[in-house]
Structure formats: structure tokens, C-alpha cells
Amino acid sequence: MSTKLAQERITEAKEMRNVYCETLIELAAGNKNIVSLDADLMNSMGMVKFAHHYPERTFDVGIQEANMIGVAAGLSATGKIPFAHSFGPFATRRCFDQLFLSCGYARLNVRIIGSDPGVTAAFNGGTHMPFEDMGIVRNIPNVTILEPVDSTQLRDLLKQTENLYGVFYLRLLRKSAVKIYEDGSTFTIGKGVTLKEGKDVTLVASGIMVDDALKAAEELETKGISVRVVNIFTLKPIDRNLIIQCAEETGAIVTVENHNIINALGSAVAEVVVENMPVPMERVGVNDLFGEVGPQNYLKQRFGLTVENIVTKVNKVLSRKK
Amino acid sequence: MISKDTVKEIKILALHIRMETMKAIGNLGFGHIGGALSITDTIAALYGGAMKYDPKNPQWEQRDWLVCSKGHAGPAIYSALALKGFFPVEELLTLNKPGTNLPSHCDRNLTKGIDMTTGSLGQGASLAVGVALGHKLDGRDNFTYLILGDGEIQEGQVWEAVLFAAQKKLDHLITFVDYNKKQLDGYTKDINDVGDIKSKFEAFGWHGQEIDGSNVIEIIEAIENAKQHKDKPSVIVLHTIKGKGWAFAEQELFNHHMNISRDQMEEALTVLSAELEGLVKE
């Protein structure tokens, strides 16, 4: 792992879906076993270019997610490396038994891509807004869950999965991300990244909330609070050592995620903390609610995924620490 | 034309499979006997010549694949695998015992010769389509055989897979539907009637055949016929008898999963042995 923070955290010019497509084209050029599957969302996912390059390795099954997951698992049994995409809720909630048994229990080799995480589903509204996708998938033994924060991390992680075996769930923002890492940064699956050192409290953040966590940390620093910021991009297996170290060294933790606070980052971190180094903890995330329709900024306010709320939770956790 | 000897060999294999399955389930005292016995003649036809496989090399690249989506028929397949030398016949008595390689439902990671993990009904259909697609993509001519239960086709996922298999013209995918007319809760026609199965598959773009699933000659001919058919996946609807070969089970309505006493097992084995003896003498 060799990471360098971006000099300026700006919205990337290239959308994450285009980076996903380009990286798969690149991988497919060197590996004839790579295949892509979708359930009638190839256009939304920007995978038409892949289909033009590799029509015989593109399988759009139509609107049938359960079948797509099973077909992907079957393909992998013959040596193929399938990348199967749908929107997050349909790639997980709708076909959980297929993920669990046809992929996980059968020990097959499948990459599932669930796009439009949490509030980024915006105008598609509550039916399409997964606050539960990672929480569902986390129940599958040995599964690897990744939530890349920007295009540099996405590219590196996708490439790494080529030579790994197992079931992977990649939670993918389709739109442009805020650049967090400098080009060329590399990552280790299962290891978190300390983005900023600090000694009073640790913010553990993933996905689109990493930028907000950094902003909150910067704001708190002006008030004399020293805030550590960690990016956990592998929800499972989670980086236990890093979390224990943060608990030990900063004595307080706040998790920040674009997901229900139940079953994903907040829960996973809490499990590690209570079993190893109990310290006060707070969770920023969706407080056990269904999604709803609206612009992303409105939804972030609506569900408390804001810099202000992170600051509030940090103050609360610090008051408990005393 | 199939030789008389081949037919006789397959019939003998079917009887051995029935006997070993009765022993394995009888030894345990309970199990999915009905659906294992109804599909036995087809399994005998597959392992008795229709399917390419190598017991010494279960992962042989040129083998044909079998996905038994009605995973609870596992014990019948395990019997065939043991009788054909994939593992010792004695191992069949470990069925469902702690640490066994022979679980109730098929598991590709535990049992030599089992190509796919199944058990949650409907999922094997998509898995078989994926396997057939993988072979086709690599230009291999391996056949993929899929076994579905009649009650199982009430699962929506089956029809997703059936639709997509036709779209991809998977003519090396041959599907059997074990139409034994019963499911766990009773007759399929009383619960959620699956009706004319062949026509349903044909409407989805498949080549269909409908035969007596207890008649070895009809099974072999139907498989040969399906292999010749191009550009469409094939379905063979098997009219079968749930519990076939154990008279007591055949008459029971609720014979999906049954208790079997020692006496019942011995009695059934006596009948099957006599049948085997008669057949060998023919």
C-alpha cells in the first residue's frame, strides 16, 4: 500500500462508471476469462463501450437479477471471472439467496457491483436507495466488501480482484467522486488508510462521507480538537488492528457512512471496539430509515449525513470521553 | 439404435442405484426418498453411457456436467457416483452423518463428481445456464445436463433462466423435469398446477420432448434426440412415479421426505434384489 493524499479535494472530471468501464476493458484485454453481466442497466452503468470491445463477453440478461447472479456463478465454475452489475438494492436485497448460496456457499468466484449507494440514488428515490446493501451482504461468510472512495482507489481495487478468488461486493458510486487520493496510490484490501493524524478522536469514514469527514476534521481543528481521519474502504474483512489502535490512541471513535448505521461500518467498528478496546463511540449514518426522493444535497441534510452532524457527534463523544 | 445389452446394463445400474439409495437412507432412518427414486432411471441413463465423465479425474475438462437443481435427489446421484468408481460404495452409508462428504443436498465442494452446489430450489437452473454459457464461450462441446423437479418449476427463477437459455441458443443444455406429480405438501395440481410443462418450455423457445421417465429406452432416445437438436436448448419432461421401486412409498402422498424403518428397508431390498436377479438372468 502506497497512498498519497490529493493536494486538492475537487470533484473528479471522469465519472466512476467510466473508470469502471475503462478498467474492465483494460483487464479484459489481458485476460480472456473476464466477462461482464448486467440486468438491463448497461447504459446507465456506461458499459456500452465494453460491449463494443467484447460483445461475446457481455451478457445483458434483461430484467432478472436472480438469474444474473446464478449465471455469473455458473460461468465462474467454468473458469470465467464475472463482474455482474445492477443498482445496489437489486444486486443485493433482491437476490440475496442467490448471492448467499449460488456464489458464497458454493465457493464460486464472482464480483457483484452494486451502484448508486445510499443517497446518491437521489431522484430514483426510496425504492432504489440502498441503505442496507452492505449490511445484507456482510452476512455471507468470507465475502469481501469494498467501497472505493474515488477513481484512483476504484481502479486499483478492481485490478487487484482479477487475481483473487471468492465473492466480492463492490459498492460503486456511478457519478464523479471527490478526489481523495493522488493518482498512482495503491491500496491493500483489508487495510484502512489513515488520511489525517490526530489524538483526541478518530473519524472512521467510507464512500462519499470521507470528504465530509475531512471537512469536519478541519473545522474541529480550528477549535483546538485534534481529529484523526481513517478511510475504511474494506468493510469486510475489516481492519481490526487499525481500529483497535485508533481506540487506544485517541480514546473515542465516530463512524461516518452513507448507509444505515445498523449492520455496516458503524456496527462493524463497534464490534471490534467493544470486544477489544471499549471507548465511547458515536455513529453518523442513516438512523434506520427508508430512503426517499430528492436531490442528493437535500437527502444528505434529511438523513444527517452532514459536516455539522459529524461535528455534533464528535462533541458528544468527547463529552462522554471525559 | 440402442443395443439390448446397453438397455439391460442401464436397467441393472438403476436397480443398484435404488438399492444403494434405500440402504443409505434406510441406514439413517429418514430422508428424501421419493424424489431420489423418481429420477433414478434418468440418472442411470446418464451415468450408464449418455454422459461423458472420468471417475479417476472428476474435473476432466471434456466431461459433461450435471446440475441437479432438485438438490435433495443427491443420494441417488451419490449412489451412481459410487457404483461408477468416484468413491467407495461403503462411503454411501455416511450420508448426512457428522463430517460426511455426502450431504442431503448436492455440494460441489464435498463430493467427488458433483459439479454444482444446489438445494435452494430454482437456483440450479441459472447455474446450469451459466455453465453451458461458459462452455459455449470457450468453444467447447461439453453438454450440461440440468435436473429440475416439477414442484421446483413453481420458482420464478427457473423461468428467468429458461428465457435466457433460449435467447443464448444454448443447444448443449439438456434439461429434465422430473414430473412425478407430487411436492412436499401434496399433488402439484392441487397446490399450484404446473400443467403442460413441455408446452410451457416450447413457448419459451425450447425444443420439447415428453416421455415415460421410468422407461430407460425412451430416456436414452430422448437424450440422443436432444443432442442432435441445434440452436435451441432442450427439455425432456419425464413422467415418473415418486418413490418408484419402493411400493410403500409409491402409494404415499407425502413421500418427499419419509421415515424408513429397518424392516421397511429390508423388505424393499428383498423386492429389488429379486427384480435384479430376474433381470440378470434374462
Nearest CA in chain B to A61: B164
Q: Distance from A72 to chain B by nearest Cα, in Å?
A: 6
Q: Is the peptide bond before A237 cis (omega within 30 degrees of 0)?
A: yes
Asked if the C-beta of B157 comes within 8 angstroms of chain A's C-beta atoms, the answer is yes
Radius of gyration of chain A, Cα coordinates, nearest whole angstrom = 19
Is residue A58 very low, low, confident or very high in pLDDT (cuts 50, 70, 90)? very high
Edge to edge, what strands does the sheet with A227-231 contain?
Answer: A193-196, A227-231, A201-205, A253-260, A281-286
Asked if the C-beta of B62 comes within 8 angstroms of chain A's C-beta atoms, the answer is no
Asked if the C-beta of A226 comes within 8 angstroms of chain B's C-beta atoms, the answer is no
pLDDT at B110: 98
Domain ranges within chain A, ordered by starting residue: 16-172, 193-321
Asked if the C-beta of B119 comes within 8 angstroms of chain A's C-beta atoms, the answer is yes
Best to test chain A binding among B60, B137, B144, B162 (most A CBs inside 10 Å): B137
Is residue A253 very low, low, confident or very high in pLDDT (cuts 50, 70, 90)? very high
Count of domains forming chain B: 1
Return residues 58-77 of A near B (CB < 8 Å).
Answer: 59, 61-62, 64, 66-77
Instruction: Give me the mean pLDDT over the A268-273 stretch.
Output: 98
Return the closest-CA partner of residue B178 out of B20, B8, B57, B32.
B32
Beta bridge partners of A253: A202, A281
Closest to B133 (Cβ–Cβ): which among A69, A75, A105? A75
pLDDT at B2: 87
Query: Which grid coordinates are listed for B43?
Result: 440418472
A189 in Cβ contact with A165 (< 8 Å)? no
- Cα B74 to Cα A201: distance, rounded to the nearest angstrom: 55
Best to test chain B binding among A36, A60, A71 (most B CBs inside 10 Å): A71
Asked if the C-beta of A84 comes within 8 angstroms of chain B's C-beta atoms, the answer is no
Asked if the C-beta of B60 comes within 8 angstroms of chain A's C-beta atoms, the answer is no
Query: Which grid coordinates are listed for B239?
Result: 413422467
Asked if the C-beta of B131 comes within 8 angstroms of chain A's C-beta atoms, the answer is yes
Query: Which grid coordinates are listed for B56?
Result: 479417476
pLDDT at A186: 98
Tell if the CB–CB gap between A74 and B119 is shorter than 8 Å. no
Query: Which grid coordinates are listed for A131?
Result: 441503505
Residue A98 has pLDDT above 90, yes or no: yes
pLDDT at A96: 98
pLDDT at B30: 96
Strands B258-259 and B30-31: antiparallel
What is the domain range of residue B272? Answer: 4-281
Q: Distance from B128 to chain A by nearest Cα, in Å?
A: 6
Residue A212 has pLDDT above 80, yes or no: yes
pLDDT at A92: 98
Instruction: Give me the mean pLDDT over the A208-212 stretch.
Output: 98
CA angle A305, A306, A310 (to 5 degrees): 95
- For residue A105, the chain B residues in CB contact (below 8 A) are 117
- Cα A292 to Cα A258: distance, rounded to the nearest angstrom: 14
CATH-assigned architecture of domain A193-321: 3-Layer(aba) Sandwich (3.40)
SS3 A178: strand
Q: Distance from B61 to chain A by nearest Cα, in Å?
A: 9
- Amino acid, res. B166: A
Query: Which grid coordinates are listed for B232?
Result: 435451441
- For residue B160, the chain A residues in CB contact (below 8 A) are 61, 64, 66-67
Q: What percent of chain A has pLDDT over 70?
A: 100
Non-local CB neighbours of A111 within 8 Å, separated by 6+ positions: A81, A82, A83, A84, A161, A167, A168, A170
Closest to B130 (Cβ–Cβ): which among A66, A71, A97? A71
pLDDT tens sequence for chain B (282 residues): 789 999 999 999 999 999 999 999 999 999 999 999 999 999 999 999 999 999 999 999 999 999 999 999 999 999 999 999 999 999 999 999 999 999 999 999 999 999 999 999 999 999 999 999 999 999 999 999 999 999 999 999 999 999 999 999 999 999 999 999 999 999 999 999 999 999 999 999 999 999 999 999 999 999 999 999 999 999 999 999 999 999 999 999 999 999 999 999 999 999 999 999 999 998
Instruction: Give me the mean pLDDT over the A77-87 stretch.
Output: 98
Under DSSP, the state recorded for A247 is H
Q: Distance from B269 to chain A by nearest Cα, in Å?
A: 34
Q: Distance from A73 to chain B by nearest Cα, in Å?
A: 6
Instruction: Give me the mean pLDDT over the A196-215 stretch.
Output: 98
3-state secondary structure chain B: CCCHHHHHHHHHHHHHHHHHHHHHHHHHCEECHHHHHHCHHHHHHHHHHHCCCCCCCCCCCCCCEEEECCHHHHHHHHHHHHHCCCCCHHHHHHCCCCCCCCCCCCCCCCCCCCCCCCCCCCHHHHHHHHHHHHHHHCCCCCCEEEEEECHHHHCHHHHHHHHHHHHCCCCCEEEEEEECCEECCEEHHHHHCCCCHHHHHHHCCCEEEEEECCCHHHHHHHHHHHHHCCCCCEEEEEECCCCCCCHHHHHCCCCCCEECCHHHHHHHHHHHHHHHHHHHHC
Return residues 117-146 of A near B (CB < 8 Å).
Answer: none
Q: Distance from A81 to chain B by nearest Cα, in Å?
A: 10
Residue pointed to by grid coordinates 493524524:
A197
B221 in Cβ contact with B6 (< 8 Å)? no
pLDDT at A279: 98
Asked if the C-beta of A98 comes within 8 angstroms of chain B's C-beta atoms, the answer is yes
CA angle B68, B108, A35 (to 5 degrees): 90
- Cα A207 to Cα B177: distance, rounded to the nearest angstrom: 46
pLDDT at B282: 84
B76 in Cβ contact with B39 (< 8 Å)? yes
Best to test chain A binding among B160, B162, B204 (most A CBs inside 10 Å): B160
- Within chain A, strands assigned E span 34-38, 58-60, 81-87, 110-115, 144-146, 167-172, 193-196, 201-205, 227-231, 234-236, 253-260, 281-286
Beta bridge partners of A286: A260
- Cα A234 to Cα A189: distance, rounded to the nearest angstrom: 6
DSSP state string for A61-108: --S-HHHHHHHHHHHHHTT-EEEEEEEHHHHHTTTHHIIIIIIIITT-
- For residue A67, the chain B residues in CB contact (below 8 A) are 125-126, 129, 157, 160-161, 164
pLDDT at A269: 98
pLDDT at A272: 98
Non-local CB neighbours of B243 within 8 Å, separated by 6+ positions: B33, B34, B37, B38, B249, B250, B252, B255
Q: Distance from A90 to chain B by nearest Cα, in Å?
A: 14
Closest to B119 (Cβ–Cβ): which among A73, A101, A107? A101
Residue A290 has pLDDT above 90, yes or no: yes
Q: Distance from B112 to chain A by nearest Cα, in Å?
A: 14
Asked if the C-beta of A166 comes within 8 angstroms of chain B's C-beta atoms, the answer is no
User: For the domain that residue B182 is a member of, what is the CATH number?
Assistant: 3.40.50.970
pLDDT at B1: 73
CA B140 from centre of chain: 24
- Cα B13 to Cα B85: distance, rounded to the nearest angstrom: 13
Tell if the CB–CB gap between A67 and B120 is shorter than 8 Å. no
pLDDT at A316: 98
pLDDT at B43: 98
Tell if the CB–CB gap between A77 and B130 is shorter than 8 Å. yes
CATH fold, domain A16-172, is Rossmann fold (3.40.50)
Tell if the CB–CB gap between A70 and B123 is shorter than 8 Å. yes
Return the closest-CA partner of residue A5 out of A133, A173, A158, A178.
A178
- Cα B83 to Cα A13: distance, rounded to the nearest angstrom: 63
Q: Return mean pLDDT, chain A.
A: 98
- Cα A151 to Cα A158: distance, rounded to the nearest angstrom: 10
Overall residue count recorded for chain A in this entry: 322
